[in-house]
């Protein structure tokens, strides 16, 4: 507070912006606030000026490139025209027809990648959320070492993504990896050491690594959400004879739903668009079984240098994500109204 | 509330399994960093034959890690500082003024999060090349281009969280400063910012983490000269003869500071997240 006091005691206005804009609170709290006319034009523009840097950066790095990306999906681009792609032949909806022709190679590849991504996303989200809820519930009661355990659980999320994934790559090696050492040498689950980073097992590997990487975030958010649930509610439920499971179903889950809503949406966008895990785990060529959509588009784009085709795939991906997000929002609103 | 025996057993078993799942890779990460090379190239062992700190010394000479490290520090720190300043200004505007377009600003900023990076990766690169041609500014392949890119990645979430913090600061403080004659910007930096310091530090850690761990844009927007750690380490791990102990040592070095900072400040991050989520 001393810092604050000294700043308040500092004398005199000094900028041309002296005098306040009408603060939003003054009307709400009804406290009399001296407003001055001086510099009122600047004041009107001040909120916009403050937003300006954020808007400029967002426009430059997100909005403009997104518009360009959508435009590119209507051109047939070769590696010779990349720098001046707008001079490439206009293709109309050709790229989209090629990409959506599921009997052709491009369409079949995209469809396969999409299915893999959906399966992977559903499993990663369900597993991450379940583990996070279990950990949060079981850490509600205080015991020695609880804070240590909480901190430990958060480390995979805090770790720079590539550090965590590189360790998994080391662990999942076929010959000398830790996992096969445990499964084959120590437990004898398999007769031969399976490959985890090749073939169909790579999807399992991808799911396990991403659950490891993403569940701590869900844990962080759900733990915070649970802490805001008043303990009296649990006590009242217990007095009514509700057991642990019943208390969880009737108190914890319903009160977590606003937190869950945002959490699940964020988890969905993260896992569905994930690029770094397959990119680091498998190297440049992700096995077909773990060919996530982002990796698929990235590789197709740089393989053929036809960024028009890649952009068309990206645009379809965005449409899908928008539909999912809108559908999710509509669903939660509908459920709110029913409740 | 008494705990039944069944509940207690389930609780201990579940927590033990989760602990194992989380800790085993971390254990491998740390112990492998202290192993001699022959231990990590042969079959896996739980314990080093003899502990050595050699990997931590060798990383600075075998990989151009020092350069990657310097690049990552420069890019991440610059992106963090810029992102935090820009986010403070924007969050102050949204939380303290009523003006047309503030709602659509918030919605637009958040919705940019929904677009997959792959959609604007290549266009962004091409735009950078165009700007370079027109102005000679060098955005493609340079640290500057990466800084600008990364700062926008953390911006939406940072603004969102800071609006949440600023709302918790009583407006009476602003008004007292204003009555004293302080301008809006003075009020922001001398009243609001000091009162929101924990939140701002948390947002800074978040922005730093985003830049420090990013790999997709770094793989396209950097050259050998401006390589960051993420891309450099990945390339190193893809070579035929991998010095795993050095990779683990490098991973430990790049992780420890950020993990500690995150653990100390996660409480503030969460407060920001949930305050935004509930609204």
Interchain CB distance below 8 Å, B1 and A234: yes
Q: Tell me which residue in A152, A228, A293 faces B22 most closely, judged by beta carbons.
A: A152
Does A201 fall in a domain? yes
Range(s) of the domain holding residue A244: 119-288
Alpha carbon of residue B216 to chain centroid = 14
Q: How far is A103 from chain B (nearest CA, A)?
A: 24
- Write out chain B residues lying below 8 Å of A19, CB-based: 178, 183
Condensed to tens digits (0 to 9), the pLDDT of residues B8-53 reads 899 999 999 999 999 999 999 999 989 888 888 878 888 877 888 8
- Domain tally for chain A? 1
Is B118's CB within 8 Å of A33's CB?
Answer: no
Assess if residue A328 is contained within a domain: no
- Within-domain flag for A177: yes
- Name, in order, each residue with C-beta under 8 angstroms of B21's C-beta and a sequence gap of 6 or more: A212
User: Is B5 in the A-facing interface, judged by CB distances under 8 Å?
Assistant: no
Assess if residue A268 is contained within a domain.
yes
How does pLDDT run across A242-297, given as a tens digit for each residue? Answer: 888 888 888 888 888 888 888 898 899 889 999 889 988 987 677 888 889 998 98
SS3 A84: helix
Smallest Cβ–Cβ distance between A273 and the set B105, B117, B248 belongs to: B117
Domain containing A221 — which CATH number?
Answer: 1.10.3720.10
Q: How far apart are CA A282 and CA A72, in angstroms?
A: 29
Q: In chain B, whose CA is at the least distance from the CA of A11?
A: B180
Please indicate, yes or no, if residue A329 is contained in any of the structural domains: no
**Residue A89 falls inside a structural domain:** no
Distance CA A234, CA A269 (A): 33
Q: How many contacts does A have with B, using Cβ atoms within 8 A?
A: 348
Residue with tokens 């649970």: A226
Question: For A30-87, what is each residue's pLDDT tens digit?
Answer: 444 444 445 567 777 888 888 899 989 988 888 899 898 888 888 887 777 777 777 7
The pLDDT of residue A8: 34
What three-state secondary structure class fits A192? coil
Element (H, E) at A186: none
- pLDDT tens digits, one per residue of A93-152: 888 888 888 888 888 889 999 999 999 999 999 999 999 999 999 998 888 888 899 999
Minimal Cβ distance to A176: which of B24, B42, B85 = B42
Instruction: Kindly state whether residue A170 falls inside one of the protein's structural domains.
Output: yes
Q: Is B112 on the interface with A (CB under 8 A)?
A: yes
Contact B218, B231 (CB under 8 A): yes
- Predicted local confidence at residue A111, as pLDDT: 92
Per-residue pLDDT averaged across B208-212, rounded? 90
Chain B residues near residue A325 by CB distance under 8 angstroms? 114
A4, A31, A177: residue with CB nearest B191: A4
Show the tokens assigned to A169.
Answer: 């790559």
Nearest residue of chain A to residue B8 (CA atoms): A138
Q: Is B17 at the interface with chain A, CB within 8 A?
A: no
- Asked if residue A327 is part of any domain, the answer here is no
Domains and CATH numbers, chain B: 63-278 (1.10.3720.10)
Predicted pLDDT at B276: 52
DSSP B186-226: HHIIIIIHHHTHHHHHHHHHHHHHHHHH--HHHHHHB-TTT
Q: Name the minimum distance, in Å, from the CA of B63 to any CA of chain A.
A: 16
Residue in B with minimal Cα distance to A217: B270
Residue of B nearest to A257 (CA): B278
Q: In angstroms, rounded to a whole number, what is the distance separating the alpha carbons of residues B219 and B210? A: 15
User: What is the Cα–Cα distance from A313 to A17, expressed in whole angstroms?
Assistant: 49
Nearest by CB: A61 against B97, B152, B237: B152
**Contact list, A141 vs chain B (CB under 8 Å):** 3, 11
Helix-then-strand count for chain B, H and E: 14, 0
- Min Cα distance A178 → chain B (Å) is 6
Spell B100-128 as b/e; 16+ CB within 10 A means b: eebeebbebbeebbebbbbbbbbbbbbbb
């Amino acid at each position: 507070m001393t810092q604050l006091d000294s700043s308040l005691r500092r004398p005199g206005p000094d900028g041309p912006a002296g005098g306040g804009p009408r603060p939003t609170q003054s009307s709400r709290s009804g406290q009399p606030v001296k407003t001055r006319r001086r510099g009122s034009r600047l004041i009107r523009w001040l909120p916009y000026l403050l937003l300006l840097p954020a808007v400029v950066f967002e426009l430059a790095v997100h909005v403009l490139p997104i518009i360009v990306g959508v435009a590119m999906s209507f051109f047939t681009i070769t590696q010779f025209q990349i720098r001046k792609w707008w001079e490439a032949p206009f293709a109309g909806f050709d790229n989209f027809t090629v990409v959506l022709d599921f009997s052709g190679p491009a369409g079949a590849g995209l469809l396969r990648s999409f299915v893999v991504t959906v399966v992977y996303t559903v499993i990663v989200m369900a597993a991450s959320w379940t583990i996070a809820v279990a950990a949060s519930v079981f850490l509600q009661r205080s015991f020695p070492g609880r804070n240590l355990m909480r901190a430990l659980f958060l480390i995979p999320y805090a770790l720079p993504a590539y550090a965590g994934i590189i360790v998994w790559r080391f662990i999942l090696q076929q010959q000398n990896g830790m996992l096969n050492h445990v499964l084959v040498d120590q437990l004898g689950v398999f007769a031969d050491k399976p490959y985890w980073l090749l073939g169909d097992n790579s999807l399992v590997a991808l799911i396990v690594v991403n659950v490891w990487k993403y569940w701590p975030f869900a844990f962080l958010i759900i733990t915070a959400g649970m802490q805001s649930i008043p303990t009296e509610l649990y006590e009242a439920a217990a007095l009514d004879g509700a057991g642990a499971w019943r208390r969880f179903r009737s108190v914890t889950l319903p009160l977590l739903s606003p937190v869950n809503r945002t959490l699940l949406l964020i988890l969905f966008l993260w896992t569905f668009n994930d690029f770094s895990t397959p990119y680091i785990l498998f190297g440049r060529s992700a096995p077909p079984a773990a060919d996530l959509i982002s990796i698929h588009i990235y590789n197709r784009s740089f393989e053929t240098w036809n960024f028009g085709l890649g952009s068309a795939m990206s645009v379809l991906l965005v449409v899908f994500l928008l539909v999912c997000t809108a559908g999710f929002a509509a669903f939660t609103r509908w459920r709110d109204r029913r409740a | 509330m008494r705990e039944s025996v069944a509940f207690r057993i389930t609780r201990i078993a579940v927590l033990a399994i989760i602990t194992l799942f989380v800790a085993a890779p971390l254990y491998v990460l740390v112990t492998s960093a202290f192993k001699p090379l022959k231990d990590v190239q042969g079959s896996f062992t739980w314990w080093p034959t003899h502990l050595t700190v050699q990997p931590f010394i060798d990383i600075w000479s075998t990989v151009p890690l020092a350069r990657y490290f310097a690049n990552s520090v420069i890019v991440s720190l610059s992106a963090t500082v810029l992102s935090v300043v820009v986010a403070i200004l924007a969050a102050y505007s949204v939380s303290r003024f009523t003006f047309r377009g503030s709602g659509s600003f918030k919605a637009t900023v958040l919705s940019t999060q929904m677009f997959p990076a792959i959609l604007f990766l290549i266009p962004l690169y091409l735009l950078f090349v165009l700007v370079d041609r027109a102005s000679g500014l060098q955005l493609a392949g340079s640290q500057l281009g990466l800084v600008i890119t990364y700062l926008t990645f953390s911006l939406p979430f940072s603004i969102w969280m800071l609006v949440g913090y600023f709302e918790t600061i009583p407006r009476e403080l602003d008004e007292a400063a204003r009555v004293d004659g302080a301008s809006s910007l003075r009020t922001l930096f001398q009243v609001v910012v000091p009162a929101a310091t924990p939140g701002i530090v948390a947002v800074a850690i978040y922005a730093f983490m985003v830049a420090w761990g990013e790999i997709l844009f770094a793989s396209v927007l950097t050259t050998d000269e401006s390589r960051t750690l993420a891309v450099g380490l990945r390339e190193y791990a893809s070579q035929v003869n991998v010095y795993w102990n050095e990779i683990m040592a490098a991973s430990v070095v790049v992780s420890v500071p950020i993990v500690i900072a995150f653990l100390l400040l996660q409480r503030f991050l969460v407060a920001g997240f949930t305050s935004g989520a509930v609204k």
